[in-house]
Structure 1
Amino acid sequence: MIDRQRCVTSRLSIALSLRSVSKARSLLLSLAALAFAQRNCRSALAADDFLLEQERPSIKADRSQEDWSLLADPKLRNEPLDSLKYIPLFPSNPDSYISLGLNLREIFEVSDAPAFGTVPANPRDSYWLQRAQFHVDVHLNENWQLFTQFEDVRAFNKTVVGPNDANRFDLRLAFIGYTHETDAGTFRARVGRQDFAFDLERFMSLRDGPNVRQSFDAVWAGWETDAWRFYGLVSQPVGYRDDDPFDDRSSSDVLFSGARIERQLSPTIEACAYYTLYQRKAADFLTASGEEGRHILDIRSAGKHAGFDWDVEAMGQVGKVGSADILAWALGARTGYTFQNVSWSPRIGPQQTRLRNCAASLPQISILPSIAISRGLPCLRAIACLLMPIPRTGPEELVMLPRGAWCRRRPPGQ
C-alpha cells in the first residue's frame, strides 16, 4: 500500500514537473512572441513616421501651389492646426476641401547715409517692416481651385514710405484655377490676380525682397507632358497704393505677355526658353521717355551630372522707348561641384553676381549669390522691379530700386 502511494506520489510529482516545464515554456514563448510583436510594431511605427515625414506637404513661397489633400488621411494629421490645413467639404470626396494659411514677416532695418549719402533730405533712418497675409484655398474635386489672399503691409517709423513699403489691408491674390489630366498630358489654366516667377527669379520674380510683392491681373494657360511644358500668359501688372483699403488696381497702360517652353532632357537635366513683350504707354528713363515696347528672349539650362551642377541663363532685349532704341543683354550662371564621397558632401562653386552698365548712369556693383553680367541701355533686369518708374522730379539723386538695380534721377527739363 505504501509502495503504491509512493508510486502515485512519484507519478504526481512527475506530472506536476512536466506541467511546470510546459508553463515555463509557454511563458518564454509568450515573451518571445511579445518581443517580436513589439519589434514589428516599432518597425511599423518607424515606417509610418518615415512615411509621414516623406509625404507631408511643405510650405512654399507661392502658397497657392501647396497641396494639402494628403491630410485627408487622418494618420497624417499629426501637427498642430492641421485641422485648419484640411477642412473637408464632402465626406465622400477627399479632393474637395478648404485650406487656411497665414504668413507673418517682421523686419527691422537701419540705414546710414542711404544712396551713398548723396541725398541730404534722406538722413539716417531706422524702421520696422511688417507683412501679414491670410489666404483661403478652396479645392473642388481634382479640377478646380479658388484661391484668395489678403494682406496688410506696414512700415513703422519710416521717414520716406514708398509703394514697395506699405499696402494697408487689400486684396493681394484672387484667381480661379482649372486642371484637367488626360493620358496625353495635363492642361492647366488660371484667371485672376496671381503671381509669376521663373526659374531662379533672375529676371522674373515674386519680388519678395521689398515689403510689398508684385502681382498681376492675368490669364494664364499651359500644357504639360512628361518631357514637355508649354505656357502662355497675358497680364496687367497691379499698381499698389496705400491711401485706402482695397485701392490696388491694374491698368491697360502697362501690359506684360509672353510664352514659355520647357524640356526635360533627362531626369537631372532640363532646358527652357521664354519670350515676353513688355508694353508701357508712359515710360520715363534718364535718357528716354515716351511709349515703351520691349521684346525679351531668355534661354536657360540647368542640371546635375557626375558631381557637377549648373544653372546657366542668357537674356536679350530689344525695343524702343519713345524714339530711343533698346538693346540690352544679361548672362547669369551658378555652377558648382559636390564631393559625394566625402563626409557632409561639401559643395564648392563661385557665388558672385556682377551687374555692369545696366543703364548709362548705373554704378558697377557686386552682390551674392551667383555669377551674372548684364549690359545695355536701358536693361530690364526684373520685370516686377521696373513697373514703377522713377519720376523726373526733385534734385538729381542716386536711388536704389528693388533687388539691387540702380537709377539716377534728374531735375525736370534736363
Structure 2
Amino acid sequence: MMILVPLLLLANKAEAQCQKPRPILQPLRYEEDWSLLSDRDCKEEPIDNIKYVPLGRENWYLSVGGEIRYRYENYEAPGFGVGPETPSGYILQRYLLHTDWHFGHHFRVFAQFQSGLENGRNGGPRPTDEDVADLHQGFLDITDSSQNWRLRVGRQEIEFGTGHLIGASEGLNIRRAFDGFRFTFKHGRWTCNSTLTHPVLVRPYTFDISDHTQTEWGAGFTRVREHGGWSGYYFGLNRKQAFFNGKTGQDISETFGSRLWKQGTVFDYNTDVIFQTGTFGAGHILAGAVSSNDGLTLHNLRFQPRFAVRFDYASGDSDHNSQNLNTFSPLFPNPQYSSISALLGPSNLTDVGPLIRITLNAKTAISPEMPFYWRSSIHDGIYNFNGMQIRPGNLSTARFVGYQPGVTLERAFSPHLSTTGGYFYFFTGRFLHETPPDKGVGYFYATVTFRF
C-alpha cells in the first residue's frame, strides 16, 4: 500500500495551458504558494486537487502536503569507538503532514504534524531519532494586503541563511522547531526579520513543550542582488546552564554576523563572518567563526563539474582555568557541519578541503569531498554538533584531529520522489590517537524521500 500511494500520485500529467510557473516543493513547506491552482488550467497532476481546495470565499483555500522519508544508516565504530555499534545498521522513518489554511489576504493558519521512528539501533534511539506523534508546527500569520509585513505567532521552523547558526536540522530524523514570535518586513530588495522564541523540547512519548531554559531573540536584514545577496544579523541566547571546556554556568551570548554570497555564471562564493560576545558564569565571552564555500563551475565541459574549497574556523577556549570563555557556540545549527556524517560540530574546529560536484544528467549528481580537521586551540577539546564536548583538550597538545574522504550520490526521479546515499570514512589523527579510543569511523547512509 505504501508503494501504491506514491505511484497513484505520480500519474501522468494532465494536459494544461497554464502560463504561470509551477511552485517548487520547498525544504520549509510553509514557503510554498499554491494559489495559482485556482486557475483550473494550471492543474497538472491528480494531487493538485488537494494542493488547492477552495473554501467558498474569494482567496480562501486549503492546501495539504506531506512527506514520507526512510533512511538507512550504518556507523562503524561510532564516536571513534565510544558509541554502541550496530553491525546491520538501523532504519529511521519520518512522516510529515501539513495543512495550510488561507483566509483572504490577512490571515493564515499553518499546522504540521510529525512522527519520527527508529528501528534496530543498538542502544535505542538518540534524542533526535524518535518522536512518535506530535504537533511540529502550528502558527498564525497576520499580514497586510500587499504582504509587505507579516507577524507570525506560534510553533514554527526557522532557518537563516545556510543554517550555520539557526536551522531546521533536515539531516536529523526529527526536525527542529521554535515556539514564539517572528516579524518580517519587506521593502524592495530588503527583507528585515526579528524573532523572540524558545526552542521546542522533544519528548518522544508525550506532547513537546517549549524549553524555557533557553530563550532566543534576534534581528537581521537581507538585501537581495542579482544571483546573490548580503545579510547582517544579531542573535541573543540565554541558556540557564551550559557546558564548555570543563566550565559550567549560565550562558548569555550575543552573536553578530554577516553573510555575502553570489552564484555567478562561472564563479560562486558563500561566506559568513561571525563575532560572539556576552557572559558565561562569572566570566566574559569572546569568540568567533568564519565559514566559506567558494568554487567555479565549468559549464562548457561534460558533466559541468564544480570545483570548490570549503574553509571553516570556529574559535576554541584559550585557558581551561580562566572564567572567561573563547569557545564558539553554534546556537542551533544544522548538523552537517563536518559533512553528512555529523561527527564534529563548529566549536574549536578548523577544517579545509576540496569539494567536487559532477552533474551526470539533469536528475543525477555525484559529489566527492575530503575535509581535514584541526583543533583551533590546543587548550580546548572537540565537540559534536549539539555543542557537547566529546574529547577533553587537556590530555594532548596535538592539533590534527583527522580527515574524512567521502562521496554522496543524489538522484531526483521527479519533483516528488528523490534518493540520496553516500559513504564517508574518518581517518583519525594525532589528537585522537593521544586521547583514545581512536578508531576510524565509517558511515554509510541511503535515503528515499517522497513529498507531495
> TM-score over 0.5 for the alignment?
yes
Give the counterpart letter for 1:65 in structure 2: E
Alignment counterpart, residue 115 of structure 2, candidates 141, 144, 152: 152
2:196 counterpart residue number: 234
- Counterpart CA distance in 1 for 2:157 and 2:295 is 30
1:321 counterpart residue number: 280
Deviations 1:210-268 (A, max 9, x none): 11111000111121011222111100111111133xx211133210000011223x433
- Are positions 1:199 and 2:161 aligned together? yes
Aligned-residue identity in percent: 25
The answer (yes or no) to whether the contact 1:115–1:400 under 8 Å persists in 2 is no
Give the counterpart letter for 2:330 in structure 1: R
Deviations 1:338-363 (A, max 9, x none): 445x25683543243545655689xx
Instruction: Report how far residue 181 of structure 1 moved.
Output: 4.0
- Counterpart CA distance in 2 for 1:344 and 1:238 is 46
Please state which structure has a larger fraction of its residues in strand.
Answer: 2
Give the counterpart letter for 1:155 in structure 2: E
Structure 2 counterpart SS, 1:71: helix
Structure 2 counterpart SS, 1:83: helix
- Are positions 1:352 and 2:313 aligned together? no
Equivalent runs, 1:25-104 vs 2, <5 Å? 51=18, 55-90=21-56, 93=58, 95-104=59-68
Unaligned runs of 5+ in 2: 1-14, 320-324, 336-380, 393-452
- Are positions 1:401 and 2:401 aligned together? no
Alignment counterpart, residue 336 of structure 1, candidates 295, 300, 303: 295
1:39 counterpart residue number: none
Give the counterpart letter for 2:42 in structure 1: L
Instruction: Report how far residue 101 of structure 1 moved.
Output: 0.9
Are residues 50 and 382 of structure 1, via their aligned partners in 2, closer, same or farther at CA, if it must alter by over 3 Å? farther
Structure 2 counterpart SS, 1:214: coil
Instruction: Report how far residue 166 of structure 1 moved.
Output: 0.4
- Are positions 1:127 and 2:90 aligned together? yes
The answer (yes or no) to whether the contact 1:210–1:402 under 8 Å persists in 2 is no
Unaligned runs of 5+ in 1: 1-47, 362-375, 387-397
1:259 counterpart residue number: 219
Deviations 1:155-209 (A, max 9, x none): 1122232221100111100000122144xx8111100000111112222211111
Are residues 189 and 300 of structure 1, via their aligned partners in 2, closer, same or farther at CA, if it must alter by over 3 Å? same
- Counterpart CA distance in 1 for 2:250 and 2:334 is 18
Equivalent runs, 1:3-42 vs 2, <5 Å? none
Which structure's relative contact order is higher, taking Cα pairs within 8 Å and 6+ residues apart?
2
Equivalent runs, 1:164-313 vs 2, <5 Å? 164-182=128-146, 186-244=148-206, 247-264=207-224, 266-305=225-264, 307-313=266-272
Point out the structure with max Rg over C-alpha: 1
Give the counterpart letter for 1:286 in structure 2: N
Deviations 1:38-85 (A, max 9, x none): xxxxxxxxxx96856x61111111111111100001111121211111
The answer (yes or no) to whether the contact 2:86–2:121 under 8 Å persists in 1 is no
TM-score (norm 1): 0.72
Deviations 1:89-136 (A, max 9, x none): 01x51x2110111111111111221111135xx234521100101111
The answer (yes or no) to whether the contact 2:291–2:313 under 8 Å persists in 1 is no
Give the counterpart letter for 1:106 in structure 2: Y
Structure 1 counterpart SS, 2:100: strand
Alignment counterpart, residue 383 of structure 1, candidates 332, 342, 357: 332
Structure 1 counterpart SS, 2:137: strand
TM-score (norm 2): 0.66
Aligned length: 327
Instruction: Report how far residue 407 of structure 1 moved.
Output: 2.1
The answer (yes or no) to whether the contact 1:205–1:382 under 8 Å persists in 2 is no
